[in-house]
Amino acid sequence: MDFALSDDQRMLQAAVRDFCLKEIAPTAERLDSTSTFPGEHLPKLAAMGLMGMTVPSEWGGAGSDMLSYVLALEELSAACASTAVTMSVNNSLYCGPLCRFATEAQKARYLTSFARGEQLGAYALSEPSCGSDPAALETIAQREGDVYYLTGRKNFITNGPHADAMIIFTTVDKTRKHKGITAFIVEKGFEGFAIGKIEKKLGIRASSTSEVVLDRCRVPVANRLGNEGDGFTIAMHTLDDGRIGIATQALGIGRAAYTVARQYATERYAFGQPIATFQAIQWKLADMAMKLEAGRLLVHQAAWLADQGHPFVKEAAMAKLFNSEAANWIAKEAVQVLGGFGYLCDFPVERYFRDAKITEIYEGTSEIQRLVIARQVLKELGG
């Protein structure tokens, strides 16, 4: 849907692309190889208004639409997937639910500075014993007067070690299953809050991921997001938005891999001619280009529907499923086009190959996306 972009959106896209080429891409290999959190880039992203893009200006954000957000995120993802997911989580998983569900007082304290990029947020839903089944979470919240005490462990928390605050999902009553899930805004300095194991990962190594340990973490009632039992609804709405972001991240990774493979194919000679002249390579490039175009249309469609206030659950799931699987295929084939060089850390396609895999897993696995899509298409038929 590039043909449907406004002049302002094209200007934003060009500005972010130029910024990423100059500032982000040159550091990506270093950050990845040393597993260094991209904190050096966050002030720059904040200065461009990218840390709270869809947050209204009165709460410190850029007041952008969802389509503008994905345009910027694609450029960032093509340059450095680790930096992109750091920005994406702050936008969609932290600022997003606060915009929709927080009180005015909560927004004043926990949204404005995060949307400006002065502080960093995170989202803590997954646990060691439950990921795709959030209704089975075990972190308990017990109310005592005007305070809740949270006890449990969260894992795979993106931005966890560097977050100033996070939205944590608990249950106030395990027997109520999803109806007992309750969300809280928790500051890193709260009593009983601690960061656990820092994870070492296959890809997006510069993105920080950790456990969160809650040992009777003391959280004021005023920090409850919504009412008791609203947590499941908050989590699902948030993940719907987040899937558009992860679909975009996958699109950016796939685009980066394709760009390197295409350029290499024109420069690498075999049997006296560029390998791009061989049908075997041409077909790979053709399929890469086709998957990217189709994936971008799916992302832009989901973002446009969200902007128009229309339902987009199915379209977001389709965008994430298609783009994550396409990114993995494109990255794999890019390694193949480069041959032995593709297997070396001297070339970026091995990083794209590693980074792509997570997009099939976090914020809803590919298996979960197929369930979501199937339920939606059957619902449309009254099935």
Indicate the burial class of 117 (C-beta count within 10 angstroms; 0-12, 13-18, 19 or more).
Answer: buried
Name every residue whose Cβ is closer than 8 Å to that of residue 267 and which is 6 or more positions away in sequence.
Answer: 274
Verify that 198 and 336 share a domain, yes or no. Answer: no
CATH number for position 202: 2.40.110.10
> Residues 107, 154: one domain?
no
Distance between CA atoms of residues 366 and 368, nearest Å: 5
Same-domain status, 355 and 317: yes
3-state secondary structure of 241: helix
pLDDT at 155: 96
Could you tell me if 91 and 126 lie in one domain?
no
Yes or no: say if 90 and 34 are a contact pair by the CB < 8 Å rule: no
Tell me: do 111 and 204 sit in the same domain. Answer: no
Same domain, 367 and 279: yes
Domain count, the chain: 3
Residue 267's Cβ-count burial label (10 Å; 0-12, 13-18, 19+) is exposed
Give the model's pLDDT for residue 3: 67
Q: What is the CATH number of the domain that holds 13?
A: 1.10.540.10
Residues 224 and 286 in one domain: no
Neighbour tally for 135: CB within 10 Å: 15
One domain, residues 197 and 132: yes
Nearest to 178 by CA among 136, 141, 149: 136
Query: Of 58, 84, 115, which closes a domain?
Result: 115
Quote the pTM value: 0.96
Name the residues annotated as catalytic: 363
Strand 209-220 and strand 147-158: pairing?
antiparallel
End residue of a domain, out of 229, 254, 274: 229
**Do 93 and 223 share a structural domain?**
no
Q: Which range marks the domain in which residue 7 is found?
A: 2-115
User: Last residue of some domain: 115, 133, 151?
Assistant: 115
pLDDT at 222: 98
Q: Are residues 263 and 136 in the same domain?
A: no
| CA–CA distance, 275 with 207 (Å, rounded to integer) | 35
pLDDT of the chain, 383 residues: tens digit per residue: 566 899 999 999 999 999 999 999 999 999 999 999 999 999 999 999 999 999 999 999 999 999 999 999 999 999 999 999 999 999 999 999 999 999 999 999 999 999 999 999 999 999 998 877 877 899 999 999 999 999 999 999 999 999 999 999 999 999 898 999 999 999 999 999 999 999 999 999 999 999 999 999 999 999 999 999 999 999 999 999 999 999 999 999 999 999 999 999 999 999 999 999 999 999 999 999 999 999 999 999 999 999 999 999 999 999 999 999 999 999 999 999 999 999 999 999 999 999 999 999 999 999 999 999 999 999 988 75
- Residue 260 and residue 191 in one domain: no
Q: Are residues 46 and 100 in the same domain?
A: yes
Report the CATH number that the domain containing residue 260 is assigned in CATH.
1.20.140.10
Question: How many C-beta atoms lie closer than 10 Å to residue 109's C-beta?
Answer: 17
The residues, ordered by sequence, that sit 6+ positions from 322 with a Cβ below 8 Å of its Cβ are 247, 294, 295, 298
- Looking at residue 382, what is its pLDDT? 74
